[in-house]
Amino acid sequence: MDNKEDEIFDLEDLYGEEFEEVEDDELEEEFEEVEEDELEEVEDDELEDEEFEEVEEDELEEVEDDELEEVEDDELEEVEDDELEEVEEDDELEEDELEEVEDDELEEVEDNEFEEIEEDEEDEEDEEDEEVKKPLKSQEQLDLDKLSDIEIEYIFLGLLLNNPKAISRYYFKFEDCHFSNSELDNMYRIIVFRESESYAPAIAKEGFKLPMEAQNSYGLMESLKEIASERNYNIETIYTILKKLFILKKNYLSAPTKLIRDNILNIINYKLYDEMTVEEVENAIEQIGVTAGLSQGRLNEDITSFLLNDESTLTTGADLPFPILSSVFKGIRKGETFVYAMPSNSGKSRFTINLASYLAFTQGKKVLIISNEMSEEKMKLCLITTILNNKAYQKLHGQQLKKTEGELLELKFRPDKKRGVKVDEKGFILREENETIDDFVERLSKISTEFNQTIKVTDWLNEQINNSIYFIHITEHTNDDIRKIIMNYYYRENIEYILYDTLKADTENIGNGEEIKKTATILSNLAQKFEIFIGSSMQLLESSTLPVNLTINDMSASRTVKEVLDILCLMKQINPQTLSKYEYSEIEEAKEYKDLEVFDDPDVRYYICVVDKNRAGAKPKLLFRLNLAYNFWEELGYVRLKQEFISID
């Protein structure tokens, strides 16, 4: 009886843990027994010894549960009939005990069995036909595969194994090491820390973990040595090829945008990539980073659509408040820099406000004024004066009146009726003694339409949120400060129109003319890179040069600044005593010219604007009239000296 119990116990082991613990040679033995005793009877010999050896893992996974149950039932019944009858004739084995082997356990046993058999089989006749379901690779992994050359990696490692001393020169730093898989990465560490340990410099080991022990390391090592010995490879050449790929991988993985990653990936497609040195590859990557935000392309591509595009930045610049300048400049175009230079105390800041107001309130643009001249309070007063008196803005806010900057500053308004109201000699309402400002304003609102109209204008200005004029006043600053200010407002408020009053060298280089060119270059680069417009005022020398004869030599700063600008205008007031020497016309080369009108008002002044540089074309000399009290700039036309005064210098 004891022998029978032992035999039954052995049978349970056969279907329990026997397959999991069996060694390779025991598995083969057991498998042959199963083939001979059990599998001969399964489904009319459909599964023969040879078929079991060729059954692949994928085929087993496709067997449905019902098929497995059917095979299980057949096998168990046959085992029960053949083996239980011989071992245990008098003892009945209940059916429930045999059905304890679950479908998933049977699958696991069979999977493990066939996986182990496949590992031991050296020759697989149908290996090429094997259908292996592999997970889809990510786009990043597909890109990294393009930047890999597994054969070069084999050769390089083999060369190091054949010549251990070579590691002293041909090594990769930890941050630059990007082998295609962990097995090759581990082999490189075996070389550094074991095979060539005494020759590897400290920098070659820094950052790396010690290699892992792997069963196939010796076999891989011998294979790599053999590969490297097949030809007379030059390790310098192999190392350069691999280092270029590793550099591309490293920068691809750290690139912040898809555009930069794609451009780095494209380097391997350069026509002369094979001839590039490591340094040239690094320079190409750096160039990609620098020009990532700049426009690049093939000039003769898409030419027809370019020509027919009515929204080209070359023709759709924002208008200036001056028709002739707008025409010759093609408007204020993003991506360009514009400098207007005047002598000291000639109205540079007022001209800046005039430009900013027009861009903001007639063109609907957000504008940033960076000022190191006029304070915010003075700028606000000048803005109110400009908006209140200019016809272009009166159409927008609906108030028709004229108030000088001085009158606005001192709250000088005329009453609707003078009776019962104290006024000065010019008819302006006087503030009573001990009257608070709040009481005075309350009284003005009741007796002066002028005052109420002015408040309506300032209220209108407050409501212009989407096309505001932003302002920042700076004193001590560096070029980097200017760059950061512009970038901050560009990203924060999406401001694309910047006016800088006045363009000077940074604080540490005041008086150094060449430093101004550096500042102008920085502004020009920002304008091009981010497609923004940057206008700046600059200072002219106080010289005896007639306004109509101004040249770059009259600049107080570096004359080479002109080289980096797109537009340069030189502006100077005409001496009131010489107005009779000039004439102007509304069209160029007119048959008849007009004399300049003489005004007794000292606030009315004439300026000549000499367009010294214009990438868009013409460079005219134009006449402007300024009413300083209202900050009203008016473009009158083309100006010239009268014939009899042309010889005057």
pLDDT digits (tens, 9 = 90+) for 617-636: 999 999 999 999 999 999 99
- 118 and 36 in a single domain? The answer is yes
Q: Are 636 and 358 in contact (CB under 8 A)?
A: no
To the nearest whole percent, how much of the chain has pLDDT over 70? 73
- 262 and 342 in a single domain? The answer is no
Q: Please report where in the chains the tokens 């606005």 appear, as a residue.
A: 408
- Does some domain include residue 238? yes
Taking the whole predicted model, whether its pTM rises above 0.85 is answered as no
- 534 and 640 in a single domain? The answer is yes
- Please tell me the predicted confidence (pLDDT) of residue 68: 34
Own/partner long-range contacts of 321-326 (Cβ < 8 Å, ≥24 apart): 321/354, 321/355, 321/358, 321/362, 321/392, 321/633, 321/635, 322/622, 322/624, 322/633, 322/635, 323/635, 324/620, 324/622, 324/635, 324/637, 324/638, 325/569, 325/609, 325/611, 325/622, 325/635
- 472 and 333 in a single domain? The answer is yes
Q: Which of 83-97, 192-206, 540-554 has the lowest mean pLDDT?
A: 83-97
Q: Are 248 and 281 in contact (CB under 8 A)?
A: yes
- 262 and 402 in a single domain? The answer is no
Quote the CA–CA distance of 334 and 151 in Å, as a whole number.
Answer: 50
- Please tell me the predicted confidence (pLDDT) of residue 515: 84
* Upstream peptide bond of 502 is cis (omega within 30 degrees of 0): yes
Residue 50 has pLDDT above 90, yes or no: no
Q: What is the mean pLDDT of residues 537-545?
A: 92
- Does some domain include residue 237? yes
- Please tell me the predicted confidence (pLDDT) of residue 644: 84
- Does some domain include residue 286? yes
Task: Quote the tokens at residue 442.
Answer: 């309350």
Quote the CA–CA distance of 609 and 619 in Å, as a whole number.
Answer: 10
| Cα–Cα separations (whole angstroms), residue 366 to 331, 386, 393, 468, 511 | 16, 17, 16, 5, 33
**Burial letters for 599-610: b for 16+ Cβ neighbours within 10 Å, e otherwise?**
eeeeebbbbbbb
- Please tell me the predicted confidence (pLDDT) of residue 571: 97
Rg for the chain, CA atoms, rounded = 44
Q: Are 103 and 66 in contact (CB under 8 A)?
A: no
Q: Which of 93-107, 112-126, 144-158, 178-192 has the lowest mean pLDDT?
A: 93-107
Q: Which of 62-66, 363-367, 389-393, 642-646 has the lowest mean pLDDT?
A: 62-66
- Please tell me the predicted confidence (pLDDT) of residue 511: 63
| Domain region containing 35 | 2-127
Q: How many folded domains does the chain comprise?
A: 3
- Please tell me the predicted confidence (pLDDT) of residue 286: 86
The pLDDT-based confidence of 24 (bands split at 50, 70, 90) is very low
Last residue of one domain, picked from the residues 84, 100, 127: 127
- Does some domain include residue 480? yes
Quote the CA–CA distance of 266 and 538 in Å, as a whole number.
Answer: 44
- Does some domain include residue 152? yes
Q: What region, left, alpha or beta, does residue 281 occupy, with left being phi > 0 and alpha being psi -120 to 50 degrees?
A: alpha
- Render pLDDT for 596-617 as a digit per residue (tens, 0 to 9): 999 999 999 999 999 999 999 9
- Does some domain include residue 435? no
Instruction: List, edge to edge, every strand of the sheet that includes 469-473.
Output: 469-473, 367-371, 497-501, 533-539, 337-342, 567-573, 604-614, 621-627, 632-641, 582-585, 594-595
Q: Choose between 643 and 93: higher pLDDT.
A: 643
- 115 and 176 in a single domain? The answer is no
- Please tell me the predicted confidence (pLDDT) of residue 311: 57
- 175 and 203 in a single domain? The answer is yes
The pLDDT-based confidence of 467 (bands split at 50, 70, 90) is confident
- 151 and 118 in a single domain? The answer is no
- 123 and 170 in a single domain? The answer is no
CATH of the domain at 360: 3.40.50.300
Q: What is the mean pLDDT of residues 264-278?
A: 92
- Does some domain include residue 134? no
Residue 496 has pLDDT above 70, yes or no: yes
Last residue of one domain, picked from the residues 102, 127, 152: 127
Q: Choose between 25 and 136: higher pLDDT.
A: 136
The pLDDT-based confidence of 510 (bands split at 50, 70, 90) is low
Quote the CA–CA distance of 96 and 79 in Å, as a whole number.
Answer: 15
Beta carbons within 8 Å of 233's beta carbon, 6+ residues apart:
155, 159
CA 452 to chain centre: 49
Task: Quote the tokens at residue 41.
Answer: 């009877």
Closest by alpha carbon to 190, among 166, 231, 159, 157?
157
- 23 and 162 in a single domain? The answer is no
CA 426 to chain centre: 60
Closest by alpha carbon to 321, among 259, 255, 392?
392
Residue 43 has pLDDT above 60, yes or no: no
- Does some domain include residue 302? no
- 276 and 362 in a single domain? The answer is no
**Burial letters for 361-382: b for 16+ Cβ neighbours within 10 Å, e otherwise?**
bbbebbbbbbbbebeeebbbbb
- Please tell me the predicted confidence (pLDDT) of residue 256: 84
CA terminus-to-terminus distance, the chain? 136
The pLDDT-based confidence of 350 (bands split at 50, 70, 90) is very high
Which stretch, 98-107, 108-117, 624-633, has highest mean pLDDT? 624-633
Q: Choose between 450 and 121: higher pLDDT.
A: 450
Last residue of one domain, picked from the residues 77, 92, 127: 127
Burial of 631 (0-12, 13-18, 19+ CB in 10 A): buried
- 488 and 536 in a single domain? The answer is yes
Is beta strand 497-501 parallel, antiparallel or unpaired with respect to 533-539?
parallel
Q: Choose between 118 and 477: higher pLDDT.
A: 477
Q: Which of 127-136, 226-235, 469-478 has the lowest mean pLDDT?
A: 127-136
Closest by alpha carbon to 505, among 522, 492, 490, 489?
522
Q: Please report where in the chains the tokens 């990294």 appear, as a residue.
A: 144
The pLDDT-based confidence of 528 (bands split at 50, 70, 90) is very high
